Structure 1
Amino acid sequence: MITPPARRFDQAAAFPELLELRESVRAADWTAIELFFAGLPDVDMTAFAAHVVAEVTGAEEFLAALPPSPLARRLLAARLISKAWEIRSSKRATHVRRDQFIGMRAQLLKAEPILLELTAEDPGDVVAWVFRLRSARGLEVGQSEARRRYDRLARFAPHSFAAQSQLVQQLCPKWSGSWEALHTFARECMDAAPPGSLSPTTVGEAHVEHYFELNGVEESSYLKKVAVQREIIAAAERSVLHPNFVGGYHWPTAYGVFAYLFGLMGDHERAAACFAPLGDEVAGEYPWKRLTKPDVAFNQLRDKALGGVK
């Protein structure tokens, strides 16, 4: 029996140009980085590319030494925020040490004034606002301030999936939000968005987050609820299953969210339609990396959807 190759849960790996961008950062090739960002067509793709830069360890030294253009400052702030979350780790708050919280806060307090200055200079700097949303969660500034930041951003990009995903996380109860506020926001994103856009994926993300927080009887019954299933199907049909779907750099996440949900629901036909674009070797980080054994979970759900397991 041939063992399938280990899957990379690295969304950037689905796009050769993003792997080249990552190498340009490691090589401190600022000209290549500037040219790359100059060619991006929308704010969501720009925000994800900035995230790719921000995940490169040690990039803050190179970025801090550059002439302070808006792009250089934006990327530096993004890197400081990623470094902050690296220090904190992805563990729940009860398992994070005090020194980790202190280290995280120190990095976020370096990033905040950079982003504040950028959005003061240009209130329409949507990417800076996206990272201000991520920083807001880490600094625990509260729901009202986070929503204020989102609303300022939404004046310029009302359907930014990158921003909406950040607020989805903020609205979860684990960040002092509520399920009612979370699902209401996700539905608003879906209802307002053009068919075939990424925004309806926020409905899927909201249900993934809700499902993750359940256990026992509640967990086993949640995705069997007719109202929940109908909402997930409607969101998929307005996004990944719509003939006009264009996901930019976020399509692996969008397909992954619905593949996971439909797989758990036992809706094999829709699950298969969402697993098919993900291929054999690369998938997005979310929701898979939140699972204990992401590759095992991915393969089991995909095999059932595609008929590999009877």
Structure 2
Amino acid sequence: MIMPSARRFDQAAAFPELVELRESVRAADWTAIELFFAGLSDVDMTAFAVNVVGQVEGAEDFLAGLPPTPLARRLHAARRIAKAWEIRTGYRAQHVKREQFEGMHAQLRIAEPILIELTAEDPSDTVAWCLRLNTALGLQLGQSEARRRYDRLARFAPHCFTAQSRLAQQLCPKWGGNWEALHAFGQECMESAPPGSLSPTVAAEAHLEHFFDEGDGYLRKVTVQREIVAAAEKSVLHPDFAGGYHWPRAHGVYALLFATMGQHDRAAVHFTALGDAGSEYPWQSASGSPESHFRTLRDKALGGVK
């Protein structure tokens, strides 16, 4: 039995089937895990569920010992990637010790060959390509390699939000990119996205990352505000929006942005949709306690509704 660990903003909490999946991993119930994934067809929902499994601390030995099916190998790689980031922590590079980087890279070097094999065996394995974007980031393989991996994935899933959001992180200056490239990619995702999809939110996430770096003044720009409103209208506010397992993250991005802008009526729409559902991103990027920041902005936004 794998024992649970405390997590802030439990990404599975809004979805009872994901809570059950996580318990199946802790119980080492491979049959239940296989049955769960057999019922998924959407690449973003599958990638999200793979990440839920990957974040079960202590599951690596169980996953590594399974018969080497593609699913088992994906899940094992996902666990190694998650463990790598647990070792590194979410601090900026200057605050991470050399031993942490070494431990992180050791885990990623276990995951990377697994994923290379999977994408060689099946170039359309989009979830494996999503995971390879994670290893590219952590192993610092550079912008060109990350874009190559994304382009390979996009041949089979051109509007994969999981991959788009990960590449957007790679394009941030903190990972060797630049703002121009990041915003260009965000606009590319929004303009090509089907209405009601998650992809326009990549443009909003680009502005969110820029705000995290430059502060509140960035969000006072009218052009920035208009692009965020347009992204919300084409994604979470569109009548066709569903969002799969990513809807708490998407609404959270807009809730944080609009609340920070002081547009409390707009923010209230997203906080109302969220209820008590939270996701680590974007709230873990805020200063102080993520939960406290979430509650403070939510109370201010909902308190301003007449």
TM-score interval, smaller chain: over 0.9
**Matched residue type, 2:119:** T
**Matched residue type, 2:49:** A
Aligned counterparts of 2:173 and 2:186: Cα–Cα separation in 1: 15
Q: Is the 8 A contact 1:268 1:305 kept in 2?
A: yes
Report the counterpart of residue 280 of structure 2 in structure 1.
285
User: SS in structure 1 opposite 2:236?
Assistant: coil
Aligned counterparts of 1:128 and 1:170: Cα–Cα separation in 2: 17
Match of 1:226 among 193, 205, 222: 222
Report the counterpart of residue 258 of structure 2 in structure 1.
262
Q: Is the 8 A contact 2:216 2:260 kept in 1?
A: no
Report the counterpart of residue 4 of structure 1 in structure 2.
none
CA offsets 1:104-157 (integer angstroms, 9 cap, x no match): 111111111100000000000000000000000000000000000000000000
Q: Is the 8 A contact 1:303 1:309 kept in 2?
A: no
The Cα shift of 1:58 comes to 1.2
Q: How does 1:196-275 map to 2 (within 5 A)?
A: 196-214=196-214, 219-275=215-271
**Matched residue type, 2:54:** A
User: SS in structure 1 opposite 2:220?
Assistant: coil
Q: Is the 8 A contact 2:265 2:304 kept in 1?
A: no
The Cα shift of 1:309 comes to 9.1
Aligned counterparts of 2:305 and 2:149: Cα–Cα separation in 1: 46
Larger relative contact order (C-alpha < 8 A, sep ≥ 6)?
1
CA offsets 1:49-90 (integer angstroms, 9 cap, x no match): 000000001111001111100000010011111111111111
Question: Higher mean Cα deviation, 288-297 or 96-105?
Answer: 288-297
Q: Is the 8 A contact 1:197 1:246 kept in 2?
A: yes
Q: CA RMSD in A?
A: 1.4
CA offsets 1:173-202 (integer angstroms, 9 cap, x no match): 000000000000011000000000000010
Aligned counterparts of 1:269 and 1:92: Cα–Cα separation in 2: 33
The Cα shift of 1:19 comes to 0.4
Equivalent residues, number: 299
The Cα shift of 1:220 comes to 3.0
TM-score, length-scaled by structure 2: 0.95
Identity %: 72
Unaligned runs of 5+ in 1: 1-6
Aligned counterparts of 1:248 and 1:178: Cα–Cα separation in 2: 30
**Matched residue type, 2:279:** G
Question: Higher mean Cα deviation, 145-154 or 295-304?
Answer: 295-304
Is structure 2 residue 152 aligned with structure 1 residue 157? Answer: no
Aligned counterparts of 1:296 and 1:109: Cα–Cα separation in 2: 36
**Matched residue type, 1:235:** A
Aligned counterparts of 1:209 and 1:235: Cα–Cα separation in 2: 15
Report the counterpart of residue 87 of structure 2 in structure 1.
87
Aligned counterparts of 1:73 and 1:294: Cα–Cα separation in 2: 33
Aligned counterparts of 1:263 and 1:308: Cα–Cα separation in 2: 11
TM-score, length-scaled by structure 1: 0.94
